[in-house]
Amino acid sequence: MSTDDFLARFGAAGQRQPDPVAAAQQAMRNPLPKRFYEKAGVLERDDLFHVALDGRTARTPARKPLAVASRTVAEALAAEWDAQTGEIDPARMPLTRLVNSALDGVADQHEAVRAEIVRYAGSDALCYRAGEPEALVERQDAVWNPLIAALEDRIGGRFVMAQGVIFTQQPQTVLDAVAKRVAVITSPVALAGAHNVMTLTGSTILMLALTERLIDAEAAWAAAHLDEDYQIGIWGQDEEAAERRAIRRKEYDAAVLLLTKG
């Protein structure tokens, strides 16, 4: 199987990112091809860093060169390919799938992707608070409030908090402020990372906090899973849920790399 055939079969392309858990599970159900190359590396050409398999540029499902502007991202992509052993397992290639989506989909739909990120801010998970138990309420306030306040100061807008799950409209001023910040993410690769960070955390606020360097990746992940971790502390976590979370974490790490380095 050639590089092009493999990417056409297993690469992810399109305007929206697929659910990472579902994508990984589907990939694992497909027969896995044998590794057909000896070495994966990086070639610098035309001011881009190409992922090369045995010296040939790999391509996306739309047959675009698998090439990015960041050497750091290209080296991480090559490492992902080099880590494949006897078989090539797309479930262990989240960065490749996401970059394929960026190059084949986001590059031509960047305004739609930005608009979706702004719409997401209108119902951000961090703006919907528990009414009880008191321990969870206190934990949300302690972790989320300082983060939101820091972002509000940075963007010049104020989010409205709500209790429970009843939809609460955010002021247009804060959505406009979010839109201005999202507009400066010009790279399709970074924009794909931004979209996936937002989707995986349920929060445009956390994505922007990462972009603005108000929080690091580990703290953002913990903030996104505050409610879940509270429940785990009470009831424990089953094996299947832990496996799903581990898959999502790999997808998240790939997205953060693109957001911060792409």
Burial class (CB in 10 A: 0-12, 13-18, 19+), 167: exposed
> For residue 108, what are its two tokens?
């031509």
Q: DSSP string covering 90-120, please?
A: GGG-HHHHHHHHHHHTGGG-HHHHHHHHHHH
Q: With a cut of 70, which residues of the chain have pLDDT below it?
A: 1-30
* Contacts of 194 by beta carbon, 8 Å cutoff, 6+ apart: 117, 182, 185, 207, 211, 255, 259
For residue 66, give the 3-state DSSP assignment: coil
Peptide bond preceding 90 in cis form (omega within 30 of 0):
no
- Answer for the pair 77, 50: CB distance below 8 angstroms, yes or no: no
What's the pLDDT at 26?
A: 56
- Kindly give the pairing relationship between strand 56-57 and strand 67-68: unpaired
What's the pLDDT at 235?
A: 93
**Four-CA torsion 48, 53, 56, 60, nearest 10 degrees:** -60
Among the residues of the chain, which ranges form H helices?
A: 3-10, 20-29, 71-82, 94-104, 110-121, 134-155, 172-183, 188-201, 204-211, 217-224, 226-235, 239-261
- Answer for the pair 117, 197: CB distance below 8 angstroms, yes or no: no
What's the pLDDT at 22?
A: 56
Identify any residues that bridge with 52 across adjacent strands, giving them in sequence order.
41, 57
What's the pLDDT at 10?
A: 44
What's the pLDDT at 23?
A: 54
- Answer for the pair 13, 61: CB distance below 8 angstroms, yes or no: yes
What's the pLDDT at 4?
A: 46
> For residue 38, what are its two tokens?
């000896």
